Structure 1
Amino acid sequence: MRTTLDFTPLFRSSIGFDRMLNALEAASRVETIDNWPQYDIAKFGEDDYRITMAVAGFSQNELTITQEQNMLMVSGQKAGEDEGQYLHRGIAERVFRRRFELADHVKVVGASLVDGLLTIDLKRELPEEMKPRRIEIATGEKLPRAGTKQIETGKQAA
Structure 2
Amino acid sequence: MRTYDLTPFYRSTVGFDRLFSLLDQATSDGTPGYPPYNIERTGENAYRITVAVSGFAKEELSIVAKENTLTIKGEKAASENGNGKAEVLYRGIAARAFERAFQLADFVVVKNASLENGLLHVDLVREIPEAKKPRSIPIASSTPAPQVVDGSADKAAA
- Tell me the TM-score normalised to structure 2 length: 0.67
Q: How many residues align?
A: 121
AA of the residue aligned to 2:124: L
Hey, what's the Cα distance between the residues in 1 that align with 2:63 and 2:27?
A: 25
Larger radius of gyration: 2
Q: Percent identity?
A: 44
Q: Equivalent residues in 2 for 1:62-73 (5 A)?
A: 62-73=60-71
Counterpart of 1:45 in 2: which secondary structure? coil
Q: Equivalent residues in 2 for 1:14-25 (5 A)?
A: none
Q: Which 5+ residue runs of structure 2 have no aligned equivalent?
A: 5-21, 145-158
Q: 1:124, CA displacement in angstroms?
A: 0.7
Correspondence for 1:48 among 46, 49, 53:
46
- Tell me the TM-score normalised to structure 1 length: 0.67
Q: Which 5+ residue runs of structure 1 have no aligned equivalent?
A: 4-24, 143-158
Q: 1:132, CA displacement in angstroms?
A: 1.3
Correspondence for 2:35 among 34, 37, 40:
37
Instruction: Provide the residue aligned with 2:121 in structure 1.
Output: 119
Given that residues 3 and 27 in structure 2 are in contact (C-alpha distance below 8 angstroms), is that contact kept between their aligned partners in structure 1?
no
* Greater helix fraction, Structure 1 or Structure 2: 2
Hey, what's the Cα distance between the residues in 1 that align with 2:66 and 2:26?
A: 23
Cα shift readout 1:7-48 (whole Å, capped 9, x = no counterpart): xxxxxxxxxxxxxxxxxx697474544211111000122211
Hey, what's the Cα distance between the residues in 1 that align with 2:40 and 2:60?
A: 24
Instruction: Provide the residue aligned with 2:92 in structure 1.
Output: 90
Hey, what's the Cα distance between the residues in 1 that align with 2:3 and 2:127?
A: 37
Q: 1:87, CA displacement in angstroms?
A: 1.1
